[in-house]
């Protein structure tokens, strides 16, 4: 039996939103994430610590690639996705205040059986955006 190379981290994750300007207002304007690249009307990418959050317009990513030097296969999803950002318990309290002041509904906030805290909101496209303590998955 052969061994496989170790997965050492998550480089990028993707969500889908038709309104990239609304996504920019949420992820850059409200959450303060740095914009890495914005190619309207196809995508906008944000820095998320040591990873990149890709936000694609699903109507554009199903089109065949136009650049033969970058043959990214067509892809996409419809309907709400999910992303979780790491946050300390104190930061979750801060995020709660930020969301309340911005009239962003808090969908859920609770402690998991292992004691980790999570807070959930929705972005303008309806994607589930979670902020959780690292100990949800890691010691």
Q: What is the pTM of this model?
A: 0.92
Cβ atoms of 67 and 85 within 8 Å: the answer is: no
When computed from its CA atoms, the radius of gyration of the chain, rounded to whole angstroms, is 17
pLDDT (0 to 100) of residue 107 = 98
Selected residue with higher pLDDT from 74 and 101: 101
pLDDT (0 to 100) of residue 76 = 84
Among 39-48, 72-81, 87-96, 111-120, the range scoring the smallest mean pLDDT is 72-81
Selected residue with higher pLDDT from 79 and 32: 32
Q: Is the pLDDT reported for residue 103 higher than 90? A: yes
pLDDT (0 to 100) of residue 1 = 61
- The pair of structure tokens assigned to 58 is 């699903």
Among 30-44, 57-71, 78-92, the range scoring the smallest mean pLDDT is 57-71
Name the burial class of residue 17, with classes exposed (0-12), middle (13-18) and buried (19+) by CB atoms within 10 angstroms of its CB: buried
Q: Which domains does the chain have, with CATH numbers?
A: 11-62 (3.10.180.10), 80-139 (3.10.180.10)
Q: Please state the rounded mean pLDDT for residues 69-78.
A: 86
């Amino acid at each position: 039996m052969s061994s496989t190379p170790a997965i050492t981290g998550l480089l990028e994750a993707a969500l889908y939103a038709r309104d990239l300007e609304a996504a920019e207002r949420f992820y850059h304007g409200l959450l303060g994430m740095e914009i890495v690249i914005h190619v309207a009307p196809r995508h906008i990418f944000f820095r998320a610590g040591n990873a990149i959050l890709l936000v694609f317009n699903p109507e554009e990513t199903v089109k065949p690639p136009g650049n033969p030097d970058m043959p990214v296969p067509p892809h996409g999803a419809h309907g709400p996705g999910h992303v979780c950002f790491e946050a300390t318990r104190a930061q979750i309290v801060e995020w709660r205040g930020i969301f309340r002041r911005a009239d962003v509904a808090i969908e859920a906030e609770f402690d998991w059986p292992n004691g980790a805290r999570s807070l959930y909101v929705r972005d303008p496209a309806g994607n589930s955006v979670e902020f959780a303590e690292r100990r949800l998955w890691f010691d």
